[in-house]
């Protein structure tokens, strides 16, 4: 019989309370402890809440989910530093991501109530053919870093890519350069690096840059058609409306402020500008039938605006920054990830919550809607959810975070790029990994896929990688 139970704040707190209550029902007196990741910075500055731990006490750690085991190991280290003996951890679900082996090496036995596989959820990479890039081009990103934030776009037989060096490239599908356009020198101390992904319509690419401008560029020859000042920085990918006659983009104004702006695509003339609740990283979405453009910001707010006037229609507050791209479907719903780890699904006409589901420590990805499925990437996995209810259809471990989004791939598959340098080709219906494309560096944005199945993705080694 242990002397007490302990759990991490916040996930382990209700489990510790439940075990203590059950113990009272059975006339068993146990000590209960909640362990913070770091000592409190005010008040009594404690890291462990509960009575004082007596040296040599046997304490069992409880938590909801064990993934890699890192959080349980952190709790064990803190408890042992205060004199406790820790040899057992009990969780509701073992996510089958390596926790048992990691804990065993630390002298801790993991006892889960369930494994994800018991619940019918796929959790590990299936054996699949692994392919190195057919070709590479670069370096494309050199200054101020080799990290690519702009996702490439394929239009017909041309790849269009923005770089952190402030240039835009047009390449063939086998990696040969067609044109190269360097943006004008930046003013005001910012680089002209491109974090925005190009949005292409009728032969024109629209994108923002860190120099605070939004650009319109011909994809035929790379000529800059117009540019318009938006703010301090523009990392947002634009959203197009009214047959491509109007675009919307978020801009950062410096400090913690941001704005949503509307422009004419023909001339670049400004139509309206509305402030957001916080700094702007996210990319807006548009629902044409209701005339609503939806924006997110770092204050955690999701806001709906009238496309014609910019008047605020509604606001919905999450508990974390909204940094990824907002997806709008044909049912009048928008899908948004938040840094509170939840995927939020809202009615675009009134901002009311349809459903939400916590999937990760934080979500930076672009939700992808396909038929009855919503596919979302987290810090170490990809989840496929039922579009109507949010229930899990399958779950696939990635071994690296997903910051971009899934893209359709021939044969009812999707391509998802991961922070460990892999692009996974996954069967939408089953979650089975059909193929693994391996780059040398990490991939932190979305891949691009042609109709013929050519896939390209920029890597943190500065190279654009292509698979044919």
Q: What is the CATH number of the domain that holds 85?
A: 3.40.50.2020
Q: Which of the pair, 467 or 379, is modelled with greater confidence?
A: 467
User: Which pLDDT band, with edges at 50, 70 and 90, does 119 fall under?
Assistant: confident
CA distance 214 to 63: 47
| Residues ≥6 apart with Cβ < 8 Å to 330 | none
Distance set, CA 184 to CA 167, 208, 215, 374 (Å): 9, 13, 11, 40
Q: Which of the pair, 151 or 380, is modelled with greater confidence?
A: 151
Distance set, CA 207 to CA 33, 50, 227, 240, 253 (Å): 51, 54, 10, 11, 17
Q: Which of the pair, 233 or 242, is modelled with greater confidence?
A: 233
Residue 69 lies in a domain: yes
- Helix (H), strand (E) at residue 20: helix 13-25
User: Which pLDDT band, with edges at 50, 70 and 90, does 239 fall under?
Assistant: very high
Tens digit of pLDDT for each residue in 73-103?
989 999 999 999 999 999 999 988 778 988 9
pLDDT of 147 reads 63
Q: Is cis: bond before 139, omega within 30 of 0?
A: yes
pLDDT mean over 401-416:
93
pLDDT mean over 221-229:
96
User: Which pLDDT band, with edges at 50, 70 and 90, does 397 fall under?
Assistant: confident
Tens digit of pLDDT for each residue in 362-373?
899 999 999 999
pLDDT mean over 106-125:
80
Q: What are phi and psi of 214, to 5 degrees?
A: -110, 140
| pLDDT of 193 strictly over 90 | no
Whether residue 95 contacts residue 121, with contact meaning beta carbons closer than 8 Å, is answered with no
Tell me the pairing of strands 85-94 and 58-66.
parallel
pLDDT of 146 reads 63
Question: In 89-237, where does DSSP find H-type helix?
Answer: 99-105
Distance set, CA 218 to CA 98, 99, 175 (Å): 49, 51, 19
pLDDT of 251 reads 95
Residue 23 lies in a domain: yes
Residue 171 lies in a domain: no
Query: Alpha carbon 305 to chain centroid distance?
Result: 24
pLDDT of 67 reads 80
Tens digit of pLDDT for each residue in 245-302?
999 999 998 778 999 999 999 999 999 999 999 999 899 999 999 999 999 999 999 9
CA distance 408 to 280: 27
Classify 211 as helix, strand or coil. Answer: coil
pLDDT of 357 reads 94
Residue 43 lies in a domain: yes
Residue 159 lies in a domain: no
Q: Specify the DSSP class assigned to residue 170.
A: E
What is the pLDDT of the chain when averaged over all its residues? 91
Residue 84 lies in a domain: yes
Q: 255: which 2 tokens?
A: 């400090």
Percent of the chain with pLDDT over 70: 96
- Whether the full predicted model's pTM is greater than 0.85, yes or no, is no
Count of the separate structural domains present in the chain: 1
Distance set, CA 245 to CA 202, 242, 330 (Å): 11, 5, 21
Domain that residue 35 falls in: 4-119
CA distance 2 to 460: 48
pLDDT of 257 reads 92
Residue 103 lies in a domain: yes
Q: Which of the pair, 142 or 304, is modelled with greater confidence?
A: 304
Residue 298 lies in a domain: no
Name residue 308's beta-bridge partners: none
Residue with structure tokens 């004008």? 184
Exposed e or buried b for every residue in 259-287, given b needs 16+ CB within 10 A?
bbbbbebeebeeebebebbbbbbbbbbbb
């Amino acid at each position: 019989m242990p002397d007490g139970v302990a759990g991490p704040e916040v996930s382990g707190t209700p489990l510790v309370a439940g075990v203590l209550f059950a113990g009272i029902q059975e006339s068993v007196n146990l000590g209960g402890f909640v362990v913070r990741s770091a000592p409190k910075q005010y008040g009594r500055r404690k890291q462990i809440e509960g009575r004082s731990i007596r040296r040599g006490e046997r304490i069992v750690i409880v938590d909801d989910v064990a993934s890699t085991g890192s959080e349980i190991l952190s709790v064990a280290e803190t408890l042992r530093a205060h004199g406790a003996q820790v040899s057992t951890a009990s969780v509701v679900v073992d996510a089958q991501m390596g926790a048992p082996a990691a804990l065993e090496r630390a002298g801790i036995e993991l006892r889960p109530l369930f494994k994800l596989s018991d619940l019918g959820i796929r959790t590990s990479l299936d054996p699949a053919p692994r392919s190195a890039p057919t070709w590479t081009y670069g370096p494309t990103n050199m200054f101020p870093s080799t990290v690519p934030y702009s996702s490439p776009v394929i239009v017909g037989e041309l790849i269009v890519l923005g770089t952190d060096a402030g240039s835009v490239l047009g390449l063939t599908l086998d990696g040969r350069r067609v044109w190269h356009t360097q943006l004008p020198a930046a003013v005001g101390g910012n680089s002209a690096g491109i974090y925005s992904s190009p949005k292409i319509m009728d032969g024109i690419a629209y994108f923002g840059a860190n120099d605070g401008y939004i650009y319109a560029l011909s994809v035929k020859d790379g000529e800059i058609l117009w540019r318009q000042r938006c703010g301090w920085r523009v990392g947002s990918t634009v959203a197009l409306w009214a047959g491509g006659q109007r675009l919307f983009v978020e801009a950062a104004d410096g400090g913690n402020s941001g704005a949503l702006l509307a422009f004419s695509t023909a001339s670049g003339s400004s139509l309206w500008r509305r402030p957001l609740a916080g700094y702007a990283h996210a990319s807006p979405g548009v629902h044409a039938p209701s005339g609503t453009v939806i924006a997110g910001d770092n204050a955690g707010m999701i806001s709906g605006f009238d496309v014609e006037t910019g008047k605020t229609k509604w606001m919905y507050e999450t508990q974390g920054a909204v940094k990824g791209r907002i997806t709008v479907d044909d049912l009048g719903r928008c899908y948004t990830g938040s840094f509170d780890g939840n995927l939020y699904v809202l009615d675009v006409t009134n901002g009311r919550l349809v459903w939400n589901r916590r999937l990760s420590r934080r979500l930076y990805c672009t939700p992808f809607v396909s038929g009855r499925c919503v596919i979302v990437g987290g810090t170490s996995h990809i989840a496929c959810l039922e579009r109507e209810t949010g229930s899990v259809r399958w779950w696939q471990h990635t071994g690296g975070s997903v910051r971009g989004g899934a893209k359709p791939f021939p044969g009812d598959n999707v391509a998802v790029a991961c922070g460990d340098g892999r692009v996974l080709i996954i069967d939408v219906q089953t979650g089975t990994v059909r193929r693994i494309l391996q780059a040398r560096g990490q991939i932190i944005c979305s891949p691009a896929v042609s109709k013929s199945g050519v896939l390209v993705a920029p890597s943190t080694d500065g190279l654009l990688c292509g698979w044919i």
